[in-house]
A and B are shown apart, each in its own frame.
Chain A
């Protein structure tokens, strides 16, 4: 889905939709109803498979909903009890804090590395550029579950290649190091995995955007004596600022809600070290059968994401002018 979101802006600049059909009043009834029939399946699908689950989630978050209610039904409303319970729980606030730190570290690394890689690609010769872009596409293409599996193998304690390389380089303390037994190192590996998977999309998109900046601007800046760093900050970045904004929003959203990488590698452990909001919501629903608390935590997640999403849409519509 990675490609999808940026593509939303493909449509710009929007021409008048549709042909100026003959006088509208004169249209027969079926022609006036037709567009609604055409979008009906989409609307129905969205209502049942998206809006309804979201509303249901909201309802559950206001109910007492455990295993008994799941099986027998008849959940009763308890007002804001669930929210009161999670908000007064220190563990919850720990998870919220961790989620923000996790997002900040990942996104910062992704943005910086992606920008550097994009600049690098632009400066390379034809063949090397082709090779690097190909490599990025490979990293981008590998399915999340395959990637988590490979990373577990790379960092395996006895036979993992990372430990072997580190020991070969003289770091004896990594001999047989069990990365996934320790909270911080598990956290670090998950960050590494997410950054590794996210940089290609951001870098390729930024590079593609950079190619649209007129060459003359760079050349004139260089004639005026600006170095590469200065050229970037004075020319490239200001022109592409909206693009950077969009990618930043997307990455924040994607990282904040990342679930599969964490669940597949550590399920939030060891000792809650990698427990973020989406994982916590799932865990509390699955292992404690507290669907109500899980739903409340998901609602908090959705609310936080909605803020970022709002920024994203504002940026996008500013770019696109109109829908």
Chain B
């Protein structure tokens, strides 16, 4: 009995340790963002929010171009996701509901595309963007993010589509719908939750992307996105860690919200798929 109790206590202590290490950096970021500068620079740091201030958020929000970068990031991410959603819907339908020669090869291509090491394509992308006069332009980034999210979107939508019985569509077609109406009226509503979570993940990918944004937007500073702006914080805020952490918090917020909303779906979905064999 005693060994069992001590085992439970040990487990819970270790669990608390894991919890601490997972959230401490995030906690520290948010805490610093709300601390008055005097406390940030104090000899002995305070670990609890004693004096909460919004000064740093105000500094970050009023920084040069903050709203422009916010809008750029949002626009690029949303248009990339919408584009890839439309294109992926078409492809997933062809893969999941039709028989055609080359289908297997197409799926293989999508799988390979999904694993592309984008980091290795920075140099040719730069050269291509230069050649086609697309440097310093957000549409170029949009296209790249579209391609980054597309394979994943196709694969997941195909998975969701498989979960919807074909018979539903066939019944609709018997009742006089054509193939397109059957898709729109029957499949699409069932697919909607899948579409939503897939697109949110695409959004996160695009929202977070740094390497290409940093490389392809050079001269025209108005076209920068948030990650690039955040990484150059030292130029923006000097050593104002409060403002930097406030900016990082604002940048993280949408992503964190999406993750928390999707958490259940993510872990169960990943697991259910991954182990089935």
Contact = CB atoms under 8 A, between A and B. Distances in A.
Q: By DSSP majority rule, is chain A's interface helix, strand, loop, or mixed?
A: helix
B159 A7 contact: yes
A301 B117 contact: yes
A138 B22 contact: yes
Contacts of A253: 115, 117
A305 B87 CA distance: 28
Interface residues of B, number: 112
A171 interface: no
A313 interface: yes
Contacts of B214: 263
A54 B271 CA distance: 33
Contact of A41 (B45, B91, B111, B269): B91
B131 to A, nearest CB: 8
Contact of A18 (B98, B143, B256): B98
A260 B11 contact: no
Contact of B26 (A138, A263, A264): A138
A8 B130 CA distance: 34
A79 B160 CA distance: 48
Contacts of B12: 124-125, 128
B170 interface: yes
A153 B33 CA distance: 12
B241 A156 contact: yes
Contact of B155 (A8, A159, A285, A286): A8
A139 B23 contact: yes
A321 B104 CA distance: 13
B184 interface: no
A50 B116 contact: yes
B120 to A, nearest CB: 4
B94 A243 contact: no
Interface of B: 11-12, 14-15, 18-19, 21-23, 25-26, 28-29, 32, 40-41, 44-45, 87-88, 90-91, 93-100, 102-104, 106-117, 119-128, 130-131, 143-144, 146-150, 152, 154-156, 158-159, 162, 166, 169-170, 201, 204-205, 207-208, 210-211, 214-215, 227, 230-231, 233, 241, 244-245, 248-249, 251-252, 255-256, 258-260, 263, 266-277
22 contacts: A1-B149, A10-B155, A10-B273, A17-B97, A35-B100, A42-B150, A60-B124, A117-B18, A120-B14, A138-B26, A138-B256, A142-B26, A144-B227, A149-B233, A150-B29, A154-B25, A208-B275, A253-B117, A257-B117, A259-B211, A282-B123, A302-B120
Interface of A: 1, 3-15, 17-19, 21, 24, 32, 34-36, 38-39, 41-43, 45-46, 49-50, 52-54, 56-57, 60, 65, 70, 73, 117, 120, 123-125, 128, 131-151, 153-154, 156, 159, 161, 164, 196, 200, 204-205, 207-209, 211-212, 240, 242-243, 246, 253, 257-260, 263-264, 278, 281-282, 285-286, 291, 294-295, 298-299, 301-302, 305, 309, 312-313, 316, 319-321, 323
